[in-house]
Structure 1
């Protein structure tokens, strides 16, 4: 009888993991239908029907969150940020469909963690690990198709999308794997090593200097935090301070001009492939009433006749949601960083702090406002950051 009960509990756990895997697969890549053609597969639905399905899937975590949690500070602020962008998009007569399809998976990922992080942290990690790993495998299959032209930085697009987006699956796959290792009292398993090697390979084939550099930093820090004496220094506060210094040093004061040889060694120009011009355009537009309201989800920046988004997370949020939206995001980050600082001697906390630092590095040049980023930030607050949960979830390795 006890064995049957154990089997029933195990089945329910894996059923939950499977359901979460499917949801995260949709959230990570809501435009999956557009990519099926890479494998000569037909689209299953019309684009409109699929968009409605994505939003419907994204509504599931909202109702689950309201039922299990009701309303708390972190989840409420995450929903508020989503709503602020909606108001700005509507005020600026932007594309609300784009807002719903592209941003609702971000909120949904965060609210799933809010709803299930206390009792089902392992299932959440397993679900994200499976979903992101499947996309890594699809990327690898796509690379094999292009084997004749396979060289360093050869591919602009992989199965998951444009090369700059590969970190959306590389970072959560590796981080979820090492967090699961820590939960099992292990430092690093073969699974984690294989995932890291595969992800790094894909980041180099579809070369993105920032993402590859950030992923290497993540790997180095994951090794360094195995030493107990170094672990407390990799925490939420140190990550937040590091990002603030990098933002003002690189984006505002352009200190990179003094270290041009290092930038060129990474294969980047001092303008970071024209990003400094984009930043200047964005900064010039953040003034007057627009600084308060933002320009909504559909904004674009015109530089040399081409349209761009801000290519920096802080400027991206300012353009979409103004200072109110940015302030909301900053509070969310501070809440997560504070929890990580309190539990800074824990190995899982150090892993998560390293993950947020790698995202911060990428956020200097790209937007990390994506489902993977929302998941990791929320997990830092709900799944790892609470001291009592950390002690129960992971031994001090």
Structure 2
């Protein structure tokens, strides 16, 4: 499938700047892992992401409605079936690493990886088709919120409420959307440095301790982040290979528990620059179409994932799905 789509992309001249930098990023990711992680390449997931990018880049231009409908159906199914499995099998469908309970969408802390972009993509399809949010997306929103509240993954809860409140603010009739790629990027960078780099979380104390029921170390995340920054200093440009971990306690190793830090830990600052370039390339398209409702919804979805990734190392699959859709925003906007 991958090689067929790659052939079509070149034969039909569907190659673009976003695809080029996405390939460079994942090639670098594989290269750094080959040399620094004992040959762990993660080729399956990397090829899966690149296949998704190529597929969406082709289909969304010729069949935007069908593409959005198919994506909506897939994610609606994920959300519904995961919640059913979550309630029917309280002890999990299987275990990860021998002790962590997991369901259709994995462990509880990883639910947001699918639920946040999935809910947003269901809403986008119905807005594209009907210019309104009907009962089906409202039901999906309810199921998503129910799942995350039951799982009580703190940053995922914050992320989904950011998405829902942002949609309410920006989808009002006769009012131009308030968000833009530049504004949200600046705000996110400031929050990231305050929370992750400087561990200055006193401003968020009431939210963290009273509402989310967490301590000011984000359940030990800040100690892990300190270990990650120390580890990064030993290989800042190249990283340590895919799925790298750090010593977060006396004998226990952890992932970075932050999406951006995990990118740096895995692929170094070279990988971060390449990843940021992909985000910026898509973001420029969104900035040029900042008054489009669907453009703003994609923007909200991207930053929803990044917010959820403040304390979890989400995989990159669905942020790249939103990014390739953002790059092709002119084919799906109807404003």
| TM superposition score normalised by structure 2 | 0.89
SS in 1 for 2:247: strand
Question: Aligned pairs, how many?
Answer: 326
Name stretches of at least 5 consecutive residues in structure 2 with no aligned partner.
93-99
What is the CA–CA distance in structure 2 between the aligned matches of 1:189 and 1:127, rounded to whole Å? 17
The offset of 1:77, in angstroms, is: 0.4
1:303-332 residue CA offsets vs partner (Å, 9 max, x unmatched): 211121111122111111111111111111
1:128 is matched with 71
One of 223, 245, 248 as aligned partner of 2:193: 248
SS in 2 for 1:166: helix
What is the CA–CA distance in structure 2 between the aligned matches of 1:148 and 1:115, rounded to whole Å? 41
The offset of 1:191, in angstroms, is: 1.0
What is the CA–CA distance in structure 2 between the aligned matches of 1:293 and 1:331, rounded to whole Å? 17
The offset of 1:147, in angstroms, is: 6.7
Q: Which moved more, 1:339-348 or 1:62-71?
A: 62-71
Larger Rg: 1
1:75-97 residue CA offsets vs partner (Å, 9 max, x unmatched): 01001110001110111143435
SS in 1 for 2:217: coil
In the alignment, is the contact (CA less than 8 A) between 1:128 and 1:172 conserved in 2?
no
Residue 14 of structure 2 is aligned to residue 76 of structure 1: no
In the alignment, is the contact (CA less than 8 A) between 2:37 and 2:242 conserved in 1?
no
What is the CA–CA distance in structure 2 between the aligned matches of 1:162 and 1:61, rounded to whole Å? 32
1:222-250 residue CA offsets vs partner (Å, 9 max, x unmatched): 11112256543212112211211111111
Distance change >3 Å, CA 142–CA 252, structure 1 → 2 = same
Q: Which runs of 4+ in 1 moved over 6 A?
A: none
Which one has a larger percent helix, Structure 1 or Structure 2?
Answer: 1
In the alignment, is the contact (CA less than 8 A) between 2:113 and 2:315 conserved in 1?
no
2:49 is matched with 106
What is the CA–CA distance in structure 1 between the aligned matches of 2:312 and 2:7, rounded to whole Å? 31
Residue 232 of structure 2 is aligned to residue 286 of structure 1: yes
1:202 is matched with 147
In the alignment, is the contact (CA less than 8 A) between 1:240 and 1:337 conserved in 2?
no
Give matches, 1:347-362, under 5 Å. 347-362=293-308
Instruction: Tell me how large the CA RMSD over aligned residues is.
Output: 2.3
| TM superposition score normalised by structure 1 | 0.76
The offset of 1:59, in angstroms, is: 4.7
